[in-house]
Structure 1
Amino acid sequence: MDLMAYVPHFADAPNIELIPVIQHVCEQPKEQDELENHIKGNSIRSKVRRWFLRQRVLSRKHPLTRWWLKSTYTVNYEISRHIKSYPFMIHPFSSFRIVWESLMTVFTFVALLVIPVSITFYFEIYDNWYIINDVMNIVFMCDIVMWFFTGYYDYRTKVIVLNPRIVALEYIKNYFLIDFMTVLPIGIIDFVIPNSKWYCTTLNMMKILRIRNIIVYSRRLHNVYRMNYQLYKILEMCTITVLCVHWAGCLEYYVPMSVAHLSTLSNDSWIKTAYFLNKKTRTKRYLVCLNRAITSLVRSAHYLNMKTTEDIILNLILTIIGFLGFMYLLTQFSHLMTTFHITIKRHLKIIQQLQEYMRYKELPHSLQRRLLIFYRYRNKKGFERNAKIINEVSPYLREKLILHNYLRLISSVKLFKYLPETVVAQLASVLHSEIFMTGDDIIKAGTRIESLYFIACGTVAVYTSTGKEICHLEDGSYFGEMALVMESEHSIATVVAVETCELNVLDRTNFRRHISPYPDLLNRLQIVALEHLEKSLSLKEAYNLDTPSGPRYINISSIQGRRK
């Protein structure tokens, strides 16, 4: 593997003349807090309302925020959209959801441990069971209500949905019925139907469906708490196994007790044997039941004393469940070992090469830190994976993928609207991505411009040649357009990365090569470029622009100065 593919280019010549570096010191006014504008005032009531609203809106510290919303611009826009349009909704990447999902994961796990025990010993602790059931129903009902007020990330459209009507319909269509079955009004049923206590306890077993919530919440939280994927999968398998074995052990006692409640229990039932009757405490009886359940789950039921129909049917069911569970654990374990091996091998190899490279070059600590940040960003974005997929698919799929990734950016350039569609598709195929770290110079004033730059994600600052900041350009903006059609263009501005940025670059050479089959097209584009230049923002106009969001395009080419 070529390590230099992960490292940005830099010069290590010892005697090169030092050039003053423009540091990004933002001169624009500090952005106002959207919450301050939405809820004004310094009273206690206003502060409390702002605090509650802040917990519901998008959290900048949420790990998934930077994964799905890739720049400061999109984060600010999402917060503004939430506050102005859906202030009563809960954002899926909010601080409140982290706390709520963490508490619900722990509470549901404990509840699923307590429920079968309380049901099993229903005949002895019925009054306490009613209290326990009511508390669980209240908490689970609150969770259902939260789902109606919590937005979700739509993986198909890649947008965060906060519209309450759409959120409610999506939840009702998918999981509302399952969650509602876990909060059936047992007390009302018992009050309406006489002598239905036993049936109510049986209905309460529907709470086992809450295991879905544990899995859903844990899958979200493992990214929030930056938990290792392998460790998370091990905990998930252990949680499911413990709950299944625990419920199976409780059923070993509950099923014959239910038959006894119907007055059809045979004297041959195993709970009437002297061995079981000698176990006086609940703990000892539970251990005996747990032993029988595990024996059935591992398909060794022929060692058990089974003479009644209910014992035979239950152990047959547990044997089938145990076989399916074994296949599930085997599949998950095989997948885990595969990912563990690949991940460890890949990361260890690259990190080792990177450390050896930095140690051999005797790089300063600050530069080492920037290299590590660069590698983490590149690895998170999956540049190698994307390139490998695009290179291996069929030509038709490759064209569709490239157009999907870059056509929106290319279509935003007014100059390209005069190009044939085939040329636009060809230009999209030669775009390449470059990563710039915070403080990196993308273009320097006075240097020749060789490419058109699209900002895929991130923020850049534009400075005059004297070092005065003009404006910010953010996601979807572009600069360097004139360099493609004009000869020997030099920049009259310096462009610096404010944060880690991903830029898509179109080189002049590739542009000229793809329009060469059209002899008169270049002259036509030069005329159009000059016409558009009259309407585009100059540096002076961009500096005097007083809008909360920066311009999408400004001219940084020296052609404007020469034309005047």
Structure 2
Amino acid sequence: MTEKEREKEREEEREEEGVLETSSLDEREYEIQELRERLKSSRVSRFNLIENELSWRKKFSRESLLAGIKDFVILPHHWWYRAWSTFILLWAVYSSFFTPMEFGFFRGLPQHLFLLDFIGQIAFLVDIVLQFFVAYRDSQTYRMVYKRTPIALRYLKSSFVFDLLGCMPWDIIYKACGRKEEVRYLLWIRLYRVRKVHDFLYKLEKDIRINYIITRIIKLIVVELYCTHTAACIFYYLATTLPESQEGYTWIGSLKMGDFSYSHFREIDLGKRYITSLYFAIVTMATVGYGDIHAVNMREMLFVMIYVSFDMVLGAYLIGNMTALIVKGSKTEKFRDKMTDLMKYMNRNRLGRDICEQIKGHFRLQYESSYTNAAAIQEIPISIRSKVIREENPIYGRLQKSSM
């Protein structure tokens, strides 16, 4: 090999080394730039998170409040409407437990409780007005409806009448009608607000951040306590609606606990009367009555028979649900497991917040509309199934006819 050829090879090697060095420098610069962008984005995202959580001035600004309203229609997922829904939920819990007590212990409740109940009725009236402007998801198409006319018609057809009747001042109407007991029965319409608590517990069951078994157990305990609380109020109502001259002919008026007598039970402390009524309701529901408290007159006997018959259904419901917790495989539990795996995947791959919300929204929609899945019609004959497909897809049906 000549000297010129050797010099030429050396020059080529130097050029290759220079290219490699420049490429490695470019790769390092690219990695450094990428790292800077990641740090910058993470820093910006953290600052945005802190700003969204702690910036009350921005959160309560007029623009932020109006962001939840679109063409005079309230967006149900906006932060201020969710805060209002939580506020109404708390009042619904209070009203659901206070209504039976107001019905049964009407003649012995403190006045400040009636004032608190009046404030709650005003809050429910405001909620009735807001319901005429809240967008909803159509149960057939699963699309959000933002038109005010369908929203108002839907609310008028669903729960408007019960919500309005629940806000009526039945105690005032009862006194204006000459204290007729039949008027006070309309007070039970307010128990329709229990559906808000039921909807909240139903959403809580699908929340993967909370243990499913604990949620179900809490729900069963709430159902049991609510039933016994209502029965206790009715037991006391049956005793207190009789004249004072017949107090001894009631379950509580004839009651004696050791040396203590309940002969003048209206003068006893409210808490003691309620605990005694709740004790009677629980031992009757569990059918382990000790004989110390029992029905005395005919009205009490009739209610005890109805209550014990209801308790058999309630016991079957509680036992069935407890069995279902042990034997896994419910639809909600499968959805929670799938969402848990999905969250792990998104966190592992560090997907963006917007795409994560879209994926979770898709799976929630798929869970709610699972009965519309094509798998539901797999057992139908092919001839009928093809007609169903043509009905669902008119374009496909026209193409099939044109091809024939």
- TM bracket, shorter-chain basis: 0.5 to 0.7
Partner residue of 2:401 out of 421, 432, 447? 421
Partner residue of 1:257 out of 209, 234, 240? 240
Distance 2:232 2:217 in 1: 22
* SS state at 1:291 partner: helix
Q: Quick check: 2:166–2:190 contact (8 Å CA) kept in 1? A: yes
Q: CA deviation at 1:90?
A: 1.4
Residues 1:296 and 1:189: Cα distance change in structure 2 (over 3 Å): same
Q: CA deviation at 1:312?
A: 0.6
Which residue of 1 is the match for residue 47 of structure 2? none
| Match status 1:193 vs 2:182 | no
* SS state at 1:130 partner: helix
| Match status 1:267 vs 2:248 | yes
Distance 1:366 1:202 in 2: 54
> What aligned pairs does 1:439-518 form with structure 2 within 5 A after superposition?
none
Residues 1:204 and 1:129: Cα distance change in structure 2 (over 3 Å): farther
Amino acid at match of 1:237: L
Which residue of 2 is the match for residue 219 of structure 1? 202
Q: CA deviation at 1:153?
A: 0.9
Distance 2:221 2:347 in 1: 42
Residues 1:396 and 1:239: Cα distance change in structure 2 (over 3 Å): farther
Deviations 1:464-512 (A, max 9, x none): xxxxxxxxxxxxxxxxxxxxxxxxxxxxxxxxxxxxxxxxxxxxxxxxx
Q: CA deviation at 1:395?
A: 1.7
Distance 2:230 2:271 in 1: 15
Distance 1:99 1:366 in 2: 28
Residues 1:326 and 1:277: Cα distance change in structure 2 (over 3 Å): same
Q: Quick check: 1:190–1:200 contact (8 Å CA) kept in 2? A: yes
Residues 1:266 and 1:107: Cα distance change in structure 2 (over 3 Å): closer
Residues 1:296 and 1:393: Cα distance change in structure 2 (over 3 Å): same
Partner residue of 1:55 out of 68, 74, 94? 68
Q: Quick check: 1:245–1:290 contact (8 Å CA) kept in 2? A: yes
Distance 1:297 1:329 in 2: 13
Amino acid at match of 2:269: T
* SS state at 1:259 partner: coil
Amino acid at match of 1:269: T
Q: CA deviation at 1:219?
A: 2.9
Distance 1:366 1:152 in 2: 30
Compute the TM-score of the two structures, normalised by the length of structure 1.
0.48
Which residue of 2 is the match for residue 305 of structure 1? 294
Q: Please list every run of 5 or more consecutive structure 1 residues that lacks an aligned counterpart in the other structure.
A: 1-19, 26-43, 57-82, 359-364, 424-517, 519-564
Which residue of 1 is the match for residue 4 of structure 2? none
Which residue of 2 is the match for residue 434 of structure 1? none
Q: Please list every run of 5 or more consecutive structure 2 residues that lacks an aligned counterpart in the other structure.
A: 1-26, 28-33, 38-56
Identity %: 20
Deviations 1:253-283 (A, max 9, x none): 122101237x6x3533221123352884333
Q: CA deviation at 1:98?
A: 2.3
Compute the TM-score of the two structures, normalised by the length of structure 2.
0.64
| Match status 1:292 vs 2:280 | yes
Deviations 1:486-540 (A, max 9, x none): xxxxxxxxxxxxxxxxxxxxxxxxxxxxxxxx9xxxxxxxxxxxxxxxxxxxxxx
Distance 1:183 1:250 in 2: 21
Number of residue pairs the alignment of both structures matches: 329
Residues 1:331 and 1:152: Cα distance change in structure 2 (over 3 Å): farther
Distance 2:97 2:144 in 1: 35
Distance 1:122 1:272 in 2: 18
Q: CA deviation at 1:152?
A: 1.5
Which residue of 2 is the match for residue 323 of structure 1? 312
Q: Quick check: 2:124–2:167 contact (8 Å CA) kept in 1? A: yes
Q: CA deviation at 1:336?
A: 4.4
Residues 1:320 and 1:180: Cα distance change in structure 2 (over 3 Å): farther
Distance 2:179 2:123 in 1: 27
Deviations 1:443-462 (A, max 9, x none): xxxxxxxxxxxxxxxxxxxx
Distance 2:90 2:247 in 1: 40
Distance 2:216 2:192 in 1: 20
Q: CA deviation at 1:229?
A: 5.0
* SS state at 1:150 partner: coil
| Match status 1:173 vs 2:160 | no
Distance 2:228 2:276 in 1: 13
Which residue of 1 is the match for residue 382 of structure 2? 395
Distance 1:204 1:297 in 2: 24
| Match status 1:245 vs 2:228 | yes
Distance 1:200 1:335 in 2: 42
Which residue of 2 is the match for residue 538 of structure 1? none
Which residue of 2 is the match for residue 149 of structure 1? 133
Q: CA deviation at 1:230?
A: 4.7
Which residue of 2 is the match for residue 133 of structure 1? 117
Which residue of 2 is the match for residue 76 of structure 1? none
| Match status 1:98 vs 2:82 | yes
Residues 1:141 and 1:289: Cα distance change in structure 2 (over 3 Å): same
| Match status 1:206 vs 2:193 | no
Distance 1:100 1:227 in 2: 22
Amino acid at match of 1:206: I
Residues 1:175 and 1:311: Cα distance change in structure 2 (over 3 Å): same
Q: CA deviation at 1:377?
A: 5.5
Q: Quick check: 1:256–1:310 contact (8 Å CA) kept in 2? A: no
Q: Quick check: 2:95–2:117 contact (8 Å CA) kept in 1? A: no
Which residue of 2 is the match for residue 89 of structure 1? 73
Q: CA deviation at 1:345?
A: 12
Distance 1:340 1:157 in 2: 28
Distance 1:219 1:229 in 2: 11
Distance 1:242 1:268 in 2: 28
Distance 2:374 2:77 in 1: 30
Q: CA deviation at 1:220?
A: 4.2
| Match status 1:277 vs 2:257 | no
